[in-house]
A and B are shown apart, each in its own frame.
Chain A
Amino acid sequence: MELLSNLGLGFATAATLTNLMYCFIGVVLGTLIGVLPGIGPLATIAMLLPATYKMSDPTTALIMLAGIYYGAQYGGSTTAILVNLPGESSSVVTVLDGYQMARKGRAGPALAIAAIGSFFAGTVATFMLAAFAPPLAEVAFKFGPAEYFSLMVLGLIGAVVLAHGSVLKALAMVMFGLLLGMIGTDVNSGVARFSFDVPELSDGVEFVAVAMGMFGFAEIILNLEQREKREVFTSKVTNLFPRMDDLKKAFPAILRGTGIGSLLGILPGGGAVLASFSAYAIEKKVSKHPEEFGKGAIQGVAGPESANNAGAQMSFIPMLTLGIPTNPVMALMVAAMMIHNIQPGPQVMTSNPSLFWGLIVSMWIGNLMLVILNLPLIGLWVKLLSVPYKFLYPAILVFCCIGAYSVNNNVFDVFMTIPFAILGYIFKKLDCEPAPMLLGFVLGKLMEEYLRRAMTISRGDWTVFVTRPLSGTLLALAAILLVIVFLPAIAKKRKEAFAGDD
Chain B
Amino acid sequence: MQIRNHRDFWAGVLFFITGILFMILSQQYTMGTAAKMGPGYFPTMLGALMAVLGLMILIPSVRRSAPELRVGKIDFRAIVLILVAVAAYALALPKLGFIVALSLLVFISSIADYEFRVPSTLVSIVVLLIFSWLVFVKGLELQFPFLPVFLTR
Contacts and interface: CB of A to CB of B under 8 A. Distances in A.
A406 B112 contact: no
Given A175-B49, A176-B15, A194-B25, A394 B90 contact: no
**Size range of the interface on A?**
35 or more
Contact of B46 (A169, A175, A191, A421): A175
B102 A398 contact: yes
Interface of A is mostly: helix
Given A221-B75, A224-B113, A411-B90, A175 B11 contact: no
B37 A452 contact: yes
A29 to B, nearest CB: 11
A188 interface: yes
Contacts of B72: 429
Contacts of B71: 429-430
Interface in A398-455: 398, 401-402, 405-406, 409, 411, 414-415, 417-418, 421-422, 425-427, 429-432, 448, 451-452, 455
B111 to A, nearest CB: 10
Contacts of A417: 86
Given A182-B43, A390-B115, A405-B144, A217 B82 contact: yes
Interface in B49-92: 49-50, 53-54, 56-57, 71-75, 78-79, 82-83, 85-87, 89-91
B142 A406 contact: yes
A193 B86 contact: no
A182 B42 contact: yes
A50 B47 CA distance: 32
A422 B53 contact: no
A460 interface: yes
Interface of B: 7-8, 10-11, 14-15, 18-19, 22, 25-26, 29-30, 33-39, 42-43, 46-47, 49-50, 53-54, 56-57, 71-75, 78-79, 82-83, 85-87, 89-91, 93-94, 101-102, 105-106, 109-110, 112-113, 115-116, 120-121, 124, 128, 132, 136, 140-144
A431 B56 contact: no
Nearest to B136: A402
A429 to B, nearest CB: 5
A395 interface: yes
Given A430-B11, A448-B42, A422 B83 contact: yes
A390 B143 contact: no
A393 interface: yes
Interface in A203-231: 217, 220-221, 224-225
7 contacts: A54-B142, A168-B57, A193-B26, A194-B25, A406-B142, A422-B83, A460-B35
A455 B75 contact: no
Contacts of A451: 37, 42
B79 A422 contact: yes
A173 to B, nearest CB: 8
A172 B17 CA distance: 12
B93 A405 contact: yes
B57 A172 contact: yes
Given A390-B120, A459-B35, A431 B11 contact: yes
Contacts of A462: 34
A33 B30 CA distance: 47
A458 B34 CA distance: 10
Contacts of A422: 79, 83
